[in-house]
Structures are given as C-alpha cells and as structure tokens.
C-alpha cells in the first residue's frame, strides 16, 4: 500500500468515526437506556452492549475519576459525569442545575443520594475543611483564645460573634443556618452534629 493510499484510508476512517458520533446526536434517555443499565439502589452503571469495541457487556461504566472526585464515563466519544447521567436515566433530562450528592460522597451515585439543586445550595452542603480545628464549618480559633463564628451568604461573609467555647460558636452558627435557609441544603450540618454530640439537641 502506498503512503498516499494509506493516508487516504486513514482519512476515511476518521471521517467515518466523526460521522458515527454526529449521527448519534444528543444523548437521550432512551439512547442511554439502550447502552447502559443503572441500578438506582446501588448507584452502579453497567454496559448493556459491548462498549467501544473493547469493553464487554456487563462491565462497569465509569472507570476513571475526575480530579474533583466525580466518576465519569465516555459514551459515544463524549465524557459524562455519572451522577448527571443518573438523572437523565430516571427523569429523562440532563439538568441545567447542579446535581448534588446529599451525603457529600461524590462517588455514591445511589439515586436516593442525588438531588438537583442550585449551585448555591450545593455550596452550602459542604463539609469541614481539613485544616479546621473546631470540627464545625464556619467556626475557628481567634488569636486571643476566643472562637469566632461566621457564615457566608451570596459571596459575603457575615460575622456572628466571638465565643468562649466551640459549643457556643456552633450554636450561633447553627442558628444562622436556620435563619438563612441552609437547612434545606445542608442536612448534615457540622454545627448541628457538634451540638448533638455535646447534648444540646437530639
């Protein structure tokens, strides 16, 4: 085979691949269900058909993790986050809003652990930073030995006061969360958990 002929063949193959991807069109609920099975109870996706000519039917879908922690899969040449595909599979649409993991485990794609929310709501459902010494989000040790409590709303930080103990600061933080609507987003509030651990609420 001449170099020119080989080049023409390679070009034809590229064109065929592109045509296949284009003809597949927008990923719909039915197209997704034709390709994969989603177990809502376990959050696991498996291939119904052999994928990409290499992966056999029955294999797990989503073999790589995005740097942000979400499991992703390539379907017909396009990358998708599995937690978003779960919504398409069950509800029939890819949401414009954020799909949040309620328990904050980004690899737990059980449908009961997913919810479509605003970006603000997802931001409110965040855990405690690794360098946080209080164990309560928004509460940190101040320079004079006091504990300071803050809360962020609409990209602005609101000062809640200085307190002698973490518990007092946690109570102030939790009260602010309730007033500002965090309870619908952050059902696992670290402030609430700290209060429970110290017998303030059950």
How many domains does the chain divide into?
Answer: 2
State whether residue 49 is helix, strand or coil.
coil
- Asked whether residue 157 falls in the same domain as residue 112, the answer is no
Instruction: Please measure the distance between the N-terminal and C-terminal CA atoms of the chain and give it in whole angstroms.
Output: 78
* Strand 98-101 versus strand 78-81 pairing type: unpaired
- Asked whether residue 47 falls in the same domain as residue 131, the answer is no
- Asked whether residue 24 falls in the same domain as residue 106, the answer is yes
pLDDT score of 63:
74
Tell me whether residue 141 is in a domain. yes
pLDDT score of 24:
56
Tell me whether residue 72 is in a domain. yes
Tell me whether residue 31 is in a domain. yes
- Asked whether residue 107 falls in the same domain as residue 133, the answer is no
- Asked whether residue 149 falls in the same domain as residue 100, the answer is no
What distance in Å separates the CA atoms of residue 16 and residue 37, rounded to the nearest whole number? 27
pLDDT score of 52:
67
Q: What does the DSSP 8-state code read for residue 111? A: G
Per-residue confidence of the chain (202 residues) as pLDDT tens digits? Answer: 444 434 344 444 444 433 334 345 789 999 999 999 999 999 999 999 887 667 898 899 987 788 888 999 988 888 999 999 999 999 999 998 899 999 989 999 999 999 998 888 888 887 788 888 898 999 999 888 899 999 988 778 889 999 999 999 999 999 988 888 787 787 778 888 889 888 775 4
**Helix, strand, coil percentages in the chain from 3-state DSSP, rounded to 5:** 35, 25, 40
Residue 17 Cα to chain centre, angstroms: 31
Tell me whether residue 4 is in a domain. no
State whether residue 43 is helix, strand or coil.
coil
Tell me whether residue 167 is in a domain. yes
Q: What does the DSSP 8-state code read for residue 59? A: P
Tell me whether residue 49 is in a domain. yes
What distance in Å separates the CA atoms of residue 170 and residue 191, rounded to the nearest whole number? 5
- Closest-CA residue to 83 (of 121, 21, 40): 40
pLDDT score of 201:
57
Of 117, 146, 167, the domain-final residue: 117
Q: What does the DSSP 8-state code read for residue 168? A: H
- Asked whether residue 23 falls in the same domain as residue 91, the answer is yes
What distance in Å separates the CA atoms of residue 139 and residue 128, rounded to the nearest whole number? 10
- Asked whether residue 26 falls in the same domain as residue 110, the answer is yes
- Asked whether residue 177 falls in the same domain as residue 106, the answer is no
Overall pTM > 0.75: no
pLDDT score of 172:
92
What distance in Å separates the CA atoms of residue 146 and residue 16, rounded to the nearest whole number? 67
**Which residues, in sequence order, are CB contacts of 142 under 8 Å at separation 6+?**
148, 162
Tell me whether residue 7 is in a domain. no
Q: Are the C-beta atoms of 94 and 101 separated by less than 8 Å? A: no
- Asked whether residue 107 falls in the same domain as residue 154, the answer is no
Tell me whether residue 188 is in a domain. yes
What is the domain extent for residue 155?
A: 127-197
- Closest-CA residue to 172 (of 191, 198, 146, 196): 191
* Strand 44-47 versus strand 98-101 pairing type: unpaired
Q: What's the CATH number where 16 sits?
A: 3.90.75.20
Q: Are the C-beta atoms of 87 and 109 separated by less than 8 Å? A: no
- Asked whether residue 64 falls in the same domain as residue 98, the answer is yes
In what helix (H) or strand (E) does residue 78 lie, and over which residues does it extend? strand 78-81
């Amino acid at each position: 085979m001449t170099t020119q002929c080989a080049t023409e063949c390679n070009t034809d193959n590229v064109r065929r691949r592109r045509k296949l991807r284009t003809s597949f069109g927008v990923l719909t609920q039915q197209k997704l269900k034709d390709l994969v099975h989603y177990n809502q109870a376990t959050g696991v996706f498996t291939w119904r058909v052999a994928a990409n000519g290499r992966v056999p039917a029955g294999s797990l879908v989503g073999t790589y993790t995005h740097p942000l922690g979400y499991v992703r899969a390539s379907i017909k040449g396009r990358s998708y986050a599995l937690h978003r595909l779960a919504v398409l599979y069950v509800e029939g649409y890819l949401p414009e809003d954020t799909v949040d993991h309620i328990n904050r485990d980004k690899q737990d794609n059980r449908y009961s652990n997913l919810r479509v929310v605003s970006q603000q709501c997802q931001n409110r459902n965040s855990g405690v930073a690794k360098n946080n010494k209080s164990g309560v989000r928004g509460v940190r040790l101040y320079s004079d030995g006091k504990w300071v409590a803050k809360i962020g709303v609409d990209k602005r930080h609101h000062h809640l006061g200085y307190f002698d103990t973490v518990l007092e600061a946690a109570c102030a933080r939790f009260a602010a969360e309730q007033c500002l609507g965090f309870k619908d987003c952050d059902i696992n509030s670290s402030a609430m958990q700290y209060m429970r651990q110290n017998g303030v609420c059950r």
